Amino acid sequence: MNTDLKHSWGKWPDKLHELPDQVKSIAKIREIENFTIEREQGYMDVVSSSDNKSTYRTTLENCECRDFLITKKKEAPCKHMYKLAYECGFRNFDVERYDIYKLVEKKCKALNSKQLKELAVILDKKFGKEIQ
Ligand SMILES: [Zn+2]
């Protein structure tokens, strides 16, 4: 394993990945289809799913997409960065947990952000021990 890349990914605190918005980004990694990865160099080029024309360059610390630059204000990884981290083997994402979260979210549009956070705590208690 490339230790420089591991160090890059390590700059994101583990707790960050448990926040509801981040859980959503992680759930979306399986929707990313059009990409090429350079594992040794630690970057990924991904075609935008919104317009199918733009290409984003993603590293473990940065991404050129709107979500990372504007929505997340570079303070948390976007789905592309999670995808890259996953493909590089830096993180074992608990797919079942994210599927359940997604399902509940879809069915409970009425939940406010506080309730979503409470839900995340419940899911942590149920699945937390199984997460690597
Ligand atoms: Zn991105």
What mean pLDDT is predicted for residues 22-41?
88
Length of the chain: 132
Q: How far is CA 124 from CA 23, 47, 48, 121, in A?
A: 11, 33, 31, 5
Span from the CA of 115 to the centroid of ligand 1 (angstroms): 27
> Residue 1 has what pLDDT?
54
Task: Give residue 109 CA to ligand 1 midpoint distance, Å.
Answer: 25
Report every protein residue that has its C-beta within 5 angstroms of ion ligand 1: 63, 65, 68, 78, 80
Distance from residue 62's CA to the centre of ligand 1 (Å): 8
Long-range contacts of residues 108-117, Cβ cutoff 8 Å, at least 24 apart: 113/20, 116/20, 117/20
Provide the pLDDT confidence category of residue 82 given band limits of 50, 70 and 90: very high
Residue-range domain boundaries for the chain: 3-130
Q: List pLDDT tens digits, range 45-62.
A: 999 877 878 899 999 999
Q: Are 84 and 44 in contact (CB under 8 A)?
A: yes
Q: What predicted TM-score, i.e. pTM, was given to this entire model? A: 0.72
Q: Radius of gyration over alpha carbons of the chain, in Å?
A: 15
